[in-house]
Structure 1
Amino acid sequence: MWKIRLALAALAPLLLLMPREALACATCACGDPTLTSMGTEQPFAGRLRLATQVRAWSLASGQPRVDNLDLRELRMDLSVAYAPVPWLFLSVTAPLQARSVQDVSLAREGGWGLGDMEVGARFFLFRDREFSANHLVSVLVGSRLPTSVTQTARGLPLSLDAQLGTGSWDPFLGLSYTAYAGDWSFIASATGYLPTRGREDFRAGPSVLSTLAAQFQPSPTWALRLAVDGRVEGESNQAGVRDEVGSGAIAYVSPDVLFSPVTDVVVQLGVRVPVFNQLRGNVRPTPILQAALVHDL
C-alpha cells in the first residue's frame, strides 16, 4: 500500500502540469465587461445564453361606453442563444402568455398557453477588432412561427384579440450598430416585420421596430440604461377588409437598471412608458413593466 501512495505522490506534480481546458467567464472570453440584455451581447465561439423575460401590459381601444375594448396580458419569454462561430448568433424564443379581453358589455374572454415562437440568426458583418471590439454591426434575419393553437371557449374559437398569436409566418429583417466607449455603450437598431396571413384569414400590418439606447456602467456589477423604443405599423387586413385600429406610430421611453449578483448572471428591471401615441382607433396603452434574467453558461 505504501508503494502505491509513494507512486501517487510522485505523479501529483506531473498531473498539475498537464494541460487542461481553460474555463473563463463570458466577460473574459469576449473582453467586454458591459452588462448586456439578451440580443445585445458581444459574440465569441461557443457562447451560450439562457434568458427569461416577464412583461405585464394592457391597453384600451375604441370609445368608452360605445365600443371600448380592454386587453391585458402577462407574458414570459424563454430564450436560448448560441454562437457556433464568432460571427453568428442563433436564437429561439418561446413565449408563454396569459391574455384576457373585456368588451363594452363587460363580457370577458381569455386564454393562456404557448404563443407564436420566434427563431433568428444574427450575423456580425463588422467588428473593429477581434477581442474587446469597440464597434459592432450586425444583421438579424428570422421569422415568427405559427406555434400558437386556437384558443376556444365552449368549443368555439375566441376572438382574434383574445388569441395568443396570429398563427402566421412573419419573417423579419433587422440591422443594428453597437458602440463601446469606456463606461458608456450605445446601440441603434431597426427591425422590419412582414406578416403573412394566419388564423381566420387575418394578416397583421407590416411594422418596423426601432431602438436608440445609451447605457452607463460605473461598476462591474450594475448599470443604468435609457432607451427610446418606437414602432410604426401599417393597417391589418381580414378576409380582404382593411382595419386601421392599432396602425400608426408609437414611442416609449424605457429606463432600466441592470445588475449582476454573481458572475455570468444579469438581472434587468425596467418600465416602458408611452410618450408619443399616434395609433389609430383611439388606442390607449399603459406602461409596460418588465423584468429579465440572463445567464451565460
Structure 2
Amino acid sequence: MWNLRLAAALSLPLFLLSGEARACATCACGDPTLTSMGTEQPFEGRLRFATQMRAWGLSSGQVTVDGMVLRELRMDVSAAYAPRPWLFLSATLPLQARTVRDVSLARETGWGIGDMEVNARFFVFRDREFSANHLFSVLVGTRLPTSSTLNDAQGRPLSLDAQLGTGSWDPLLGLSYTAYLGDWSFIASATGYLPTRGREGFRAGPSVRSTLAAQFQSTPRWALRLALDGLVEGESNHAGVRSEEGSGAIAYVSPDVLFSPAMDVVVQLGVRVPVFNRLGGNVQQMPILQAALAYDL
C-alpha cells in the first residue's frame, strides 16, 4: 500500500505538467533530408517560415537603339502551414528594389512590395505515411495584384520594366515528384502560369517553370544540390500589341549548398547560371545569386 501511494505521489507532478509533445521536423516526418522552402515533407501541424534573398539582372534590345539594363535585389518572405498531412498552405510576399537604365542613360528606381503568391499543395500519393520515400503532389495557387503603381517625382507612372509587378491575377497549376533514397534525394517539378491582363493593359505570356534536381547528403548538417531549372514563356501583349521580347526558353544550371547550423534551421547558398538562352528581344540574363534561410517552428 505504501509503495502504491509513493508511486502515485511521484507521478502526480508528471501528470499535471504533461501536454502536447513537440518534436523536431526531422523526427516528425521521419526523414533527415535538408530541404528548401516548398520541397519539405509534410506532417500535420508543420509550420515553416523562410526568407530568400536574390540578386539578379538582365539586359535587352540593341545597345545603341533600344537597349535596357535592369538590376534587382529581392527578398521573399514566406510562411507555410500543414493543417493536414496531405495539405500544405503557403504564402510568399516579395520585397523588391529595382533599377532600370535605358539607352539614353535615363534611370528609374523603385522599391516596395511586389505581387504576392498564395498556394495550396495537395499530396495525392505517398508510398507510406511515415518517412515516405516517394511523394507526388499537385500545386494550385495564384499571384495576387498586391504591387502598387510606382510614380516618378513628377507623379508620372514609371515604365512597366521598373514596376515591381504586373498588377494582375495569375493562376498557376503545378505537379511535383520527390524521391528520398538514403543519402540521395531527387525532385522533378513543373508549374504553369496563365497571367491575366494587368497594369496599363499589359498581359504577360503564359509560362512553364520546371526543375530537375538531385541532392546528396552524407551528414545531418551538410548537403549538396545540383539542379537544372528551365523557363518557357509565350508572347506578351501590351494593350493589344503582341511582343516577342522575353518570350522563348531559357535554362539554368543551379548548384547549391545546404547547411543546418541548429535544429530545424536550414541555410541555403547558391547560384543560377544561364546555360541555354533562346529568349526573344536579345534578352541576356545574368547569373542569379541566392541565399535562403528556413526555420520550422
Unaligned runs of 5+ in 2: 1-7
Query: What is the identity, as a one-letter code, of the residue corresponding to 2:48?
Result: R
Give 1:16 shift. Answer: 2.4
Q: Deviations over 1:142-196 (max 9, x none)?
A: 0000000000002000000000000000000000000010000000000000000
Residue 47 of structure 2 aligns with an amino acid whose one-letter code is L
Alignment of 1:94-133 (within 5 A): 94-133=93-132
Query: Which residue of structure 2 aligns with residue 3 of structure 1?
Result: none
Cα displacement string for residues 67-123 of structure 1 (whole angstroms, at most 9, x for unaligned residues) = 110000000000000000000000000000000100001000010000000000000
Aligned residue for 1:218, secondary structure, equals coil
How far apart are the structure 1 equivalents of 2:49 and 2:22? 18
Aligned to 1:85: 84
Shift of 1:20: 2.9
What letter is aligned with 1:229?
Answer: D
- CA distance, structure 2, for counterparts of residue 295 and residue 136 of structure 1: 22
Aligned AA (1:61): S
What is the deviation of 1:22?
1.2
SS for the counterpart of 1:16 is: helix
Aligned to 1:24, the other structure's residue is in SS state coil
| Equivalent runs, 1:1-297 vs 2, <5 Å | 11-17=9-15, 19-153=18-152, 154-297=154-297
Q: When the two structures are aligned, how many residues end up with a matched partner? A: 289
3-state SS of paired residue (2:273): strand
Percent identity of paired positions between Structure 1 and Structure 2: 80
Q: Distance in 1 between matches of 2:235 and 2:100?
A: 21
1:34-68 deviation digits (Å, cap 9, x = unpaired)? 00000000000000000000000000001112211
User: Over residues 274-293 of structure 1, what are the superposed CA-to-partner deviations in whole Å (9 max), with x where a residue is unaligned?
Assistant: 00000011111110000000
Instruction: Compute the TM-score of the two structures, normalised by the length of structure 2.
Output: 0.96
Work out the CA distance in 1 between the residues paired with 2:217 and 2:186.
11
CA distance in 2, matches of 1:20, 1:152: 54
Q: Which residue of 1 aligns with 2:4?
A: none
**Counterparts of 1:23 and 1:278, CA distance in 2:** 50
Structure 1: which 5+ residue stretches go unaligned?
Answer: 1-9
